[in-house]
Structures are given as structure tokens and as C-alpha cells.
């Protein structure tokens, strides 16, 4: 049954090193084309002519809002970008999905930003769309949750930090479930459709027992979604691994999380996301309507996506583009009256079959080769002929069940779907030796 997952120690030890980087196509590391603002405007023209629905995301840079002047300057540039792109959206292009990183924006700044969005874009009614606000535990309270609800948000995602008292960070670290309880109670009282908690594991001051206790206290609060992530995946490339737990302790925390959440009745959607059976994502997965896009798992796979802010990624038709990932460059482009997009991929450099195949794996844990060939116009068996030895190895090890018609990932291997994605990315990846318990990205 979809949603069920079990822990297989031997398989995790062998294939647990494949991270989520293998699951995204195209990923930011693939963005090798120079994409000019005119390219994006042309793609938007085609989107407008086709009347395609829209998805939006608003990004905050790291540290934005800590200094009031910097926050005001960044908000001003966001409004300019919204103005420049919004005027190219058609009146029939309804926004079905919005994801907003709140950061330390105050209520008045949020109202100003949402008013700007609603002046430029037509939104569906809240009951028909997915409007998610991402908040930080240290910066959220009842008034903020109420204001976000008034602005039309119907989903809430809360980052649950795990910083030591002497870590030197400014974000309040986890002491008890009291603050999280207040957030969830506020969201439920205001009838938010779902509440997600982001929960990291693998810091050096965490232990398997302390993580298990923390997770148990969170499960008692019954958030609709819990997204577990390995802190190793959050460390940028080239940054030292200080502050991280040993691979053995990290693996033990991961196992505690999987087993505790499964025992509590959560269903496994994929990529670390567990949801209660009533959640929209669980129901969409059951009927084959789940998608995976630039915002993660989604109900709105037919939307073109516009990302606003530093480093934001947009996908319009077959064009992918990314904004400048440094605040000065992002703001300088907008000050010069230009859109800040700098890189990406043009449609003729993207493999649509590969994109479709990875999305089906992530959403259904199965592939129907004939259906994929019919939908893409490309013979799947021929396109991936050189990958067959790796797939047969996965079949022999119990990671997949492979036959002539397709493949499926059984419950005991669904935590390892990244290894299956990697087999389609790099034919020899799954046969490369690795150290047991290493769950870091490569």
C-alpha cells in the first residue's frame, strides 16, 4: 500500500548514502545556460497565451530582516520584481499555489507584500488553492498566524530549530513542546488546512535518545505533516562538518524517526515527508494526483512557476531560470530596471522523459514503461538501455521489483528511492562502494 514504509537495516546501510540531489531534475547544479530576462519574458508570453495557471514562491535571503534597513531594502526590490513580472501575467492565469518564506517580516510588511501580489496576480479562492507560509519557531506567535490567515494562507510550515545554548545563533532553540503546541493550536483554531513541522536530525549535541524524546513530544501534538531532514544535507558544499553527529548516531536518529512516525499512523509520502492519512498529499498520492515540483510535493503540477527573491528558481513552459544568488547582484539588477535572472536551462537542453520519470518515481514509487513511452514519445527501454545492469542489481538486492513492464519500490526500500533515481542518473552509481551509515549528499 502506498504510504507504508519499513526499515531494512541492511538496505539502508548499503544504499543510504544517496541523497535528494539525485532526485531533482533539472537541479540548480544543472543550470549551465545563460538565461536573459528577454528569454523569461518570451516564455511568459506563451504562458499567457495558453492561459496556464500559476504557482508563486517568495524567497528571503539568509539573515534577511535582522537589520531593519536591509529588510526594507530587500522588500522594496521584491516589490519591483513582482511588478516587472506581474504585468506579463494574463487575467485568466489564476494563482493556485503560493509559498512564502516569512523570515522576520512583520505583519505590516507582509500585508504590503501580499497586497502587491494580489494587485498583479489573480488568485483562486483559498479553498481551491495551496497557500503556504513558512515561519520560524522563534518568530511566530498568535497575531502573526492570525494575520497570515487573514491574508489567505491555509497552510503553515514551521522550522523547529535544534541549536545549543552556546551555539551562538540568534534563533531560539528547542527546549520543550510548549511553543510548538501554541503554534499548532493557533493554526487549528483558525482552521488552517495543514501544519507541517520541519525536523532536523544529526547535530553533534543530539543523541538518539534525546531525538526520540523530542519526536515523541511532537507526535503528541499531531501536526498534519512532519518533514525529517539530515543536517548533513543542510551544510553547503565546502563548509566543514563541525557540529554534526557521527554517522552511526545520525543513522540511529533517522531510524527512530521512521519507526516512531510509522507507529503513530503517519504515512510516508517520500523524501523525508510523513503525513497523517487525512492530509491532502496522502489522498492525492492514493489517486495518482500527486506531483513534485520546485516547491516540493504538490497538488498543482500543471502550473507554471515564478520564483521571486534572491536565488529563486522559475519554470515557465520548458524554460528554467534562476535569479542571482547574491543579494547585491539581485538588488543591482532590479535597480537598473532589469529582471535578476542569470542562469538556467532552455527547453531544448532538457530531457522531458527524464523529468517525468523521476517525478513518477517520487510520487508513486513505481514506473510503467509503456505509459511513460506513450506520454513522452520516447522508448523508455531503449533510452535507458545502459542503465539496465544497475537496475538489475537493485532488483537482486530487493530495492526494486523489476520486470519487462516496469518497476516498483517495495515498502522496505521506499526510504531509498534516491538510489533508484541515481541509477537512472548514473548507470554505475549503485555499484560504487561506500561507507556504511553515511547519509550525506554527494
For the chain, the C-alpha Rg in angstroms (whole number) is 22
Name the average pLDDT for the chain: 89
Q: Give Dmax (Cα) for the chain.
A: 61
Question: Which H or E element spans position 407?
Answer: strand 406-408
- Per-residue pLDDT of 35-79, as tens digits, reads 999 999 999 999 999 999 999 999 988 755 557 788 889 999 999
> Quick check: 278 pLDDT over 50?
yes
pLDDT tier for residue 242 given thresholds of 50, 70 and 90 = low
Cell numbers given for 93:
492565469
Distance CA 99, CA 3 (A): 25
- pLDDT value of position 177: 74
In sequence order, the β-bridge partners of residue 131 are: 98
- Per-residue pLDDT of 331-363, as tens digits, reads 999 999 999 999 999 999 999 999 999 999 999
The reported pTM is 0.91
Nearest CA to 98 among 134, 62, 67? 134
How many residues are there in the chain? 442
Nearest CA to 255 among 3, 21, 439? 439
Domains (ranges, CATH) in the chain? 1-25+351-432 (1.10.10.920), 28-305 (3.20.20)
- Ramachandran assignment for 158, one of left (phi > 0), alpha (psi -120 to 50 degrees), beta (any other): beta
In sequence order, the β-bridge partners of residue 402 are: 407
- pLDDT value of position 21: 67
Q: Alpha-carbon dihedral of residues 7, 13, 15, 20, nearest 10 degrees?
A: 70
- Per-residue pLDDT of 187-206, as tens digits, reads 999 999 999 999 999 998 89
Distance CA 141, CA 180 (A): 10
> Quick check: 157 pLDDT over 70?
yes
Residue with cell 514506473: 367
**Continuous H helices in 227-273:** 231-234, 247-263
- pLDDT value of position 162: 67
Which 8-state DSSP code applies to residue 244?
Answer: B
Q: Alpha-carbon dihedral of residues 353, 356, 358, 359, nearest 10 degrees?
A: 180
Answer yes or no: are the C-beta atoms of 256 and 212 closer than 8 Å.
yes
Taking CA 406 as the corner, what is the angle to CA 400 and CA 411, rounded to the nearest 5 degrees? 30
Distance CA 183, CA 195 (A): 9
> Quick check: 173 pLDDT over 70?
no
**Continuous H helices in 87-177:** 107-120, 142-150
Is 198 among the annotated ligand-binding positions? yes
- pLDDT value of position 358: 95
- pLDDT value of position 343: 96
Least confident segment among 130-139, 160-169, 253-262, 413-422: 160-169
- pLDDT value of position 174: 55
Distance CA 382, CA 13 (A): 32
Region 312-335: mean pLDDT is 96
Answer yes or no: are the C-beta atoms of 274 and 226 closer than 8 Å.
yes
Residue 311 CA: distances (Å) to CA of 44, 192, 338, 342, 432: 19, 29, 15, 10, 33
> Quick check: 221 pLDDT over 70?
yes
Region 209-223: mean pLDDT is 93
Which 8-state DSSP code applies to residue 77?
Answer: H
Classified as helix, coil or strand, 100 is strand
Region 433-439: mean pLDDT is 37
Answer yes or no: are the C-beta atoms of 397 and 14 closer than 8 Å.
yes
Least confident segment among 89-93, 111-115, 359-363, 432-436: 432-436
Is 81 among the annotated ligand-binding positions? no
Q: Half-sphere exposure of residue 347, counting CA atoms within 13 Å on the CB side?
A: 9
Cell numbers given for 168:
551562538
Amino acid at each position: 500500500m502506498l504510504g507504508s514504509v519499513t526499515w531494512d537495516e541492511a538496505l539502508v546501510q548499503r544504499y543510504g548514502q544517496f541523497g535528494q540531489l539525485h532526485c531533482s531534475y533539472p537541479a540548480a547544479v544543472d543550470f549551465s545556460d545563460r538565461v536573459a530576462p528577454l528569454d523569461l519574458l518570451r516564455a511568459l508570453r506563451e504562458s499567457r497565451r495558453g492561459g496556464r495557471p500559476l504557482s508563486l514562491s517568495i524567497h528571503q535571503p539568509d539573515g534577511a530582516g535582522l537589520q531593519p534597513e536591509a529588510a526594507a531594502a530587500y522588500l522594496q526590490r521584491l516589490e519591483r520584481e513582482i511588478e516587472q513580472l506581474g504585468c506579463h501575467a494574463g487575467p485568466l492565469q489564476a494563482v493556485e499555489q503560493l509559498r512564502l518564506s516569512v523570515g522576520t517580516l512583520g505583519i505590516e510588511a507582509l500585508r504590503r507584500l501580499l497586497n502587491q501580489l494580489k494587485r498583479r496576480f489573480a488568485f483562486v479562492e483559498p479553498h481551491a488553492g495551496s497557500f503556504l507560509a513558512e515561519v520560524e519557531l522563534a518568530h511566530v506567535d498568535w497575531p502573526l498566524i492570525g494575520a497570515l490567515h487573514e491574508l489567505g494562507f491555509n497552510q503553515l510550515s514551521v522550522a523547529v530549530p535544534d541549536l545549543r545554548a552556546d551555539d551562538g545563533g540568534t534563533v531560539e532553540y528547542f527546549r520543550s513542546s510548549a511553543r510548538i503546541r501554541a503554534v499548532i493550536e493557533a493554526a487549528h483554531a483558525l482552521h488552517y488546512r495543514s501544519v507541517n513541522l520541519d525536523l532536523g536530525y544529526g547535530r553533534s549535541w543530539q543523541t538518539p535518545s534525546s531525538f526520540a524524546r523530542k519526536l515523541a513530544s511532537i507526535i503528541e501534538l499531531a501536526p498534519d505533516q512532519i518533514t525529517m531532514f539530515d543536517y548533513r544535507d543542510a551544510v553547503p558544499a565546502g563548509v566543514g562538518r563541525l557540529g554534526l553527529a557521527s554517522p552511526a548516531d545520525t543513522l540511529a536518529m533517522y531510524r527512530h524517526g521512521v519507526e516512531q512516525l510509522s507507529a503513530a499512523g503517519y504515512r510516508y509520502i517520500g523524501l523525508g515527508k510523513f503525513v497523517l492519512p487525512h492530509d491532502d498529499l496522502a489522498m492525492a498520492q492514493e489517486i495518482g494526483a500527486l506531483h513534485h515540483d520546485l516547491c516540493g510535493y504538490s497538488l498543482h503540477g500543471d502550473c507554471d512557476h515564478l520564483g521571486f527573491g534572491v536565488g529563486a528558481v522559475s519554470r515557465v513552459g520548458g524554460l528554467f531560470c534562476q535569479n542571482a544568488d547574491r543579494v547585491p547582484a539581485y538588488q543591482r539588477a532590479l535597480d537598473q530596471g532589469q529582471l535578476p535572472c542569470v542562469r538556467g536551462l532552455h527547453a531544448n537542453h532538457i530531457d522531458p522523459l527524464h523529468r517525468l520519470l523521476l517525478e513518477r518515481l517520487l510520487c508513486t514509487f513505481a514506473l510503467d514503461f509503456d505509459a511513460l513511452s506513450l506520454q513522452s514519445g520516447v522508448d523508455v527501454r531503449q533510452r535507458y538501455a545502459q542503465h539496465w545492469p544497475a537496475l538489475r542489481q537493485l532488483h537482486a538486492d530487493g530495492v526494486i521489483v523489476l520486470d519487462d513492464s516496469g518497476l516498483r519500490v517495495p515498502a522496505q526500500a521506499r526510504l531509498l528511492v534516491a538510489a533508484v533515481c541515481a541509477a537512472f542518473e548514473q548507470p554505475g552509481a549503485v555499484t560504487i562502494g561506500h561507507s556504511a551509515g553515511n547519509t550525506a549528499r554527494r
